[in-house]
């Protein structure tokens, strides 16, 4: 059955994320409860936010004085990069890719689940032969969300019982991004954009406070990409 | 904060997060007629974004103190070499991660 083959393929593709999310989620659950938050808080954030780094920052917000404006501002700062994920996914979340059936619902659900890791798999507009693209995109998004909820729940409920040393396990995300970067390097006509991304971000990390360096990074990267458009683009777009 | 305030705060963070993800879809409702500059950015931005994400993952690494970023450097080179040589992403990621954990837990303690 095509469905099973696609689901199996989606599970294989998301295995690194399963590992990363299980341990990041468990860390987050332990961290949140260690700060005095009740067990259901990390479970709720994992279901309704699905935004790893922002959920960690959220622990600080939730253990300080109630300040809704601060919540809005900080969430915007930390999650601003998702605006640019949406830009790429404009092409992917289409009726052609997702199918007519319940299109609006699926599109909203996929937008909701657009975290770094789901973006890192679904940003490509092609899948292996024999794979149902529409189902694959949805499976990946849903599986990642399930992994995340599972990790956070385990951490919130059982964190104190986990014995072995998991230090460094979150490197799995860095490794995943390195692999994808290498793929992008191989497939891109111009090799520069990737290195522009690295160099600009490093520069911004050195210049700006650590909490706020991503937005300037994105802005400068986009400005440079646009200025050098003629040297960088693959070919005529129209 | 009491429980109600916490729940409101979570709702705010969830809504703002969703808003950042939906933003581009709101600004460009017709994905068929995107401005040329946006089509161009869709081509080149992902490649640049992954460069940014790698740096983002490493943002807490210090070159001056502690292990000076050596475990990260070694593990990243390992991931890259294994992936380029064997073309298997899972193997490269898992071996790289296990090596990194060994490095930070045992060698660079």
Integer Cα distance of A94 and A170 in angstroms: 33
Q: What is the pTM of this model?
A: 0.81
Q: Is A60 on the interface with B (CB under 8 A)?
A: no
Contacts of A84 in chain B (CB under 8 A): 24, 45, 49
Quote the CA–CA distance of A208 and A214 in Å, as a whole number: 9
Q: Please, how many CA atoms are within 13 Å of residue A8, restricted to the half-sphere of its CB?
A: 6
- Spatial contact of A115 and A176, defined as CB atoms under 8 Å apart: no
- The pLDDT > 90 percentage for chain A reads 55
Q: Which two tokens stand for residue A82?
A: 């998702």
- Closest partner CB to A116 (pick from B20, B53, B75): B53
Q: What is the pLDDT of residues B54-86, one digit of tens each?
A: 998 899 898 898 889 999 999 999 999 999 999
pLDDT at A108 over 70: yes
Top-confidence residue, A66 or A3:
A66
Closest CA relative to residue A51, chosen from A116, A122, A108, A128: A116
Integer Cα distance of A94 and B31 in angstroms: 8
pLDDT at residue A129 tops 50:
yes
Flag whether pLDDT at A165 surpasses 80: no
Measure the CA–CA gap between A138 and A117, rounded to whole angstroms.
Answer: 14
Residue A55: burial class (beta carbons within 10 Å; 0-12, 13-18, 19+): buried
- Across the interface, whether the CB atoms of B17 and A79 are under 8 A apart is answered yes
Give chain A positions within 8 Å (CB) of B48.
193-194, 196-197, 221, 225
Residue-wise pLDDT for A167-202, tens only, equals 787 788 888 889 989 998 998 889 999 999 999 999
Residue A164 pLDDT: 65
Given a cut of 50, whether residue B22 has pLDDT beyond it is yes
Query: Looking up tokens 């071996």, which residue turns up?
Result: B95
Under an 8 A CB cutoff, do B51 and A196 touch? yes
Asked if residues B44 and A232 have their Cβ atoms less than 8 Å apart, the reply is yes
Phi first, then psi, for residue B43 (nearest 5°) are -70, -50
Task: Specify the pLDDT at position A1.
Answer: 54
Contact: A221, B31; criterion CB under 8 Å: no
CA distance A31 to B104: 20
Minimum CA–CA partner of B10 in chain A: A45
Residue of A179, A197, A200 lying closest to B89 (CB–CB): A179
Show residues of chain A in contact with B17, CB under 8 Å: 49-51, 54, 75, 79, 82
| C-alpha B10 chain-centroid distance | 23
Quote the CA–CA distance of B4 and A41 in Å, as a whole number. Answer: 12
- Whether residue A15 lies within 8 A of chain B, CB to CB, comes out as yes
Cβ-in-10-Å burial (0-12, 13-18, 19+) of A190 comes to: middle
ipTM over 0.90 threshold: no
Degrees to nearest 5, angle at CA B54 with B101 and A164: 20
A63 vs B: CB within 8 A: yes
Residues 148-207 of A with CB under 8 A from B: 165-169, 171-182, 184-185, 188, 190, 193-198, 200-202, 205
Q: Provide the 10 A C-beta neighbour count for residue A39.
A: 17
pLDDT for A201: 96
pLDDT at A36: 87
Q: CA of A199: how far to CAs of A38, A64, A220, A224, B56, in Å?
A: 41, 36, 11, 12, 12
B21 close to A112: Cβ distance less than 8 angstroms: yes
Q: Are the beta carbons of B48 and A196 separated by less than 8 Å? A: yes
Tell me what pLDDT residue A20 has.
87
Out of B43, B90, B92, the one facing A233 most closely (by C-beta) is B43
Pick among A197, A203, A209, A220 to test the B interface (most B CBs inside 10 A) = A197
**Which range scores top for mean pLDDT: A41-55, A125-139, A202-216?**
A41-55
When pLDDT is averaged across residues A62-69 and rounded to a whole number, the result is 92
Structure tokens belonging to residue A164: 């072995």
């Amino acid at each position: 059955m095509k469905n099973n083959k696609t689901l199996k393929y989606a599970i294989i593709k998301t295995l690194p994320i399963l590992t990363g999310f299980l341990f990041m989620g468990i860390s987050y659950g332990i961290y949140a409860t260690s700060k005095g938050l009740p067990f259901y808080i990390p479970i709720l954030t994992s279901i309704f936010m699905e935004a790893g780094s922002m959920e960690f920052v959220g622990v600080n917000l939730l253990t300080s004085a109630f300040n809704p404006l601060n919540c809005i501002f900080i969430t915007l700062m930390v999650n601003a990069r998702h605006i640019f994920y949406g830009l790429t996914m404009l092409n992917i979340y289409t009726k052609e890719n997702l199918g007519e059936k319940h299109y609006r619902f699926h599109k909203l659900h996929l937008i909701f689940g657009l975290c770094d890791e789901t973006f890192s798999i679904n940003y490509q507009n092609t899948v292996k032969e024999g794979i149902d693209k529409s189902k694959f995109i949805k499976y990946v998004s849903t599986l990642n969300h399930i992994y995340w909820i599972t990790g956070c729940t385990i951490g919130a409920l059982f964190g104190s019982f986990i014995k072995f040393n998991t230090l460094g396990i979150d490197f799995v995300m860095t490794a995943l991004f390195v692999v994808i970067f290498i793929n992008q390097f191989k497939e891109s006509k111009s090799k520069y954009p990737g290195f522009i991304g690295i160099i600009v971000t490093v520069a911004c990390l050195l210049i700006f406070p650590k909490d706020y360096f991503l937005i300037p990074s994105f802005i400068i990267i986009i400005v440079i990409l646009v200025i050098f458009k003629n040297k960088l683009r693959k070919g005529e777009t129209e | 904060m009491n429980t109600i305030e916490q729940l409101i705060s979570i709702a705010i963070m969830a809504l703002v997060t969703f808003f950042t993800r939906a933003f581009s879809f709101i600004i460009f409702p017709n994905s068929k007629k995107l401005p040329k500059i946006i089509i161009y950015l869709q081509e080149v931005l992902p490649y640049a974004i992954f460069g940014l994400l790698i740096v983002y993952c490493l943002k807490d690494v210090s070159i001056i103190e502690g292990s000076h970023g050596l475990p990260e450097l070694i593990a990243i080179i390992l991931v890259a070499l294994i992936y380029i040589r064997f073309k298997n992403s899972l193997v490269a990621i898992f071996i790289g991660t296990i090596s990194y954990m060994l490095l930070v837990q045992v060698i660079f303690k």
